[in-house]
Structure 1
Amino acid sequence: MPEATSHRSKPRPTASCLPCRARKVKCNRLTPCATCVARNTPQECKYAAPDTDRQAIAQAELIAGLRSRANQLRDQLYAPIEWGHGRGTSANGASKRREEDQLAELEVVYAALRWGTGATVEEVVRRIRRGEQLGDIAQGVELGMGMGMESSRLGDEVVVLD
C-alpha cells in the first residue's frame, strides 16, 4: 500500500502592515495605510512582504474585483432575456418591447421637463433625485400629477431634428 503524501498548500503571503497585523485590524495596504494614519502613527507602518509581492497581491485583488463586476454586468445584460423566456415570448421580442416602452417613458418625462410648468419640472426632478423608476414618473406625468401640466402638450410627439 503506497504511503499517503500530505499535500500542503503554499501559505498565503501576508499583505497587511505589521501594526495592523499586531492589532488584528483591517489594513488597506497603502503606504502608510489608513489605519496607521488614523492612529497618528504613519511612521510605524511597515510591511514584511517586499513591494513586488504586495503589488502582485493588490493586482490579484483588483483582478478578482474586475471579474466580479464583469459577472454582475453580464447578469444584468442577460436578465431581460431570461425574463422574456419566463413569459413564453421570444427573448428578442420581449427585450425589444421593453426598450420601446422605456423609450416612450423617457419621451414623456422629457416632454414634461421641456414644456411643463415650473412646478411640473420641479416635481419631476424631485422624483428623479429620489430614485423613482422612470415608468412611475412617466405615469405620474401622464396623469398630470396635479402639477399644472398642459394635457395638450403631453400628447404631442417629441420630434428630434438632425
Structure 2
Amino acid sequence: MDVASSQSSKSKPRATASCHPCRTRKVKCNRLSPCEACVTRGIPEECKYSAPNEDRQAIAQADMITELRGKVNRLREQIAQRGAYRCSSVSSEEDEEEAAAMEIVYSALRLGPEDLVWKLVGRIREGEDVRELARDVANYMGEDDSVL
C-alpha cells in the first residue's frame, strides 16, 4: 500500500463540541457555558471547552435550527391530520398561519444577522409564541433593530 492511498482512507477527526468534564464522563453536554451537566454536578467552574466560542455558537445555532425543522415538520403533520378530520376553515387557517410563522422564524434563524438570531433564540427559549416572533422578524427586516 502506498502513502497516498493510506492517507486518503483516514478520515478527519471530528471537532469536539462538548466540555471536558462531559467528554471525560461520556455524558451529553448541552454546550452552554457552563453546561447543564456541570451545573447539576456542582462544578460549573470546571466546565471548559477546547473549541473556540464562535465554533460552539455555530454548533448551538445548528442544533436550534434542527429543533425548529423538527417542530415545523410536526406542525405540518398536525395540519395534515387535522385537515383530514375537520371541515372547519377557521382552524386550518390558524394552522396555516402558525406554519407560515414557523417558516419566517426558521428563515430568520438560518439567514439572519447574528444579533437577530441570538435574540430569537432567547425568546424561543422563553416560550414566546411563534406568531409574535414572526411579526417582530417582519418588522425587524422592514424597520430597525429596536423591534426585537
Higher relative contact order (CA 8 A, sep 6+): 2
* Higher-Rg member (1/2): 1
TM-score, normalised with respect to structure 1: 0.45
